[in-house]
């Protein structure tokens, strides 16, 4: 299954490793895919892939929100609601 995880913090990273461990294709969405820490983390495992929120929400058949609650609305609106239609969404928001 294609899993799009929106959020590259510790929760998103941990979830991505879990989904990868179950042989799913995973793309982690972040506001800055070129951030030094995100690139360093992604390079540790060849199967780790990072993108912006638009690419991530378009990619995933299953979408996982792993964001601070205060940014969820903006992150969903940025790529557009069409990228979320007909998909299963798991909400793991943090405060």
> How many Cβ atoms from other residues are within 10 Å of residue 86's Cβ?
6
The pLDDT of residue 69 is: 87
H/E segment holding residue 32? none
The pLDDT of residue 95 is: 60
> For 35-79, how does the pLDDT look when each residue is reduced to its tens digit (9 = 90+)?
999 999 999 888 899 999 999 999 999 999 999 888 989 988 888
Give yes or no for a contact between 57 and 2, defined as CB atoms under 8 angstroms apart. Answer: no
pTM of the model: 0.90
Residue 94 has pLDDT above 70, yes or no: no
């Amino acid at each position: 299954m294609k899993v799009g995880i929106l959020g590259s913090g510790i929760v998103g990273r941990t979830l991505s490793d879990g989904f990868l461990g179950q042989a799913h294709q995973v793309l982690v969405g972040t506001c800055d895919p070129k951030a030094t820490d995100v690139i360093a983390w992604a390079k540790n495992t060849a199967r780790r892939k990072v993108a912006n929120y638009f690419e991530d929400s378009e990619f995933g058949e299953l979408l996982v929100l792993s964001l601070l609650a205060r940014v969820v609305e903006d992150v969903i609106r940025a790529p557009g609601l069409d990228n979320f239609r007909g998909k299963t969404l798991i909400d793991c928001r943090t405060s």
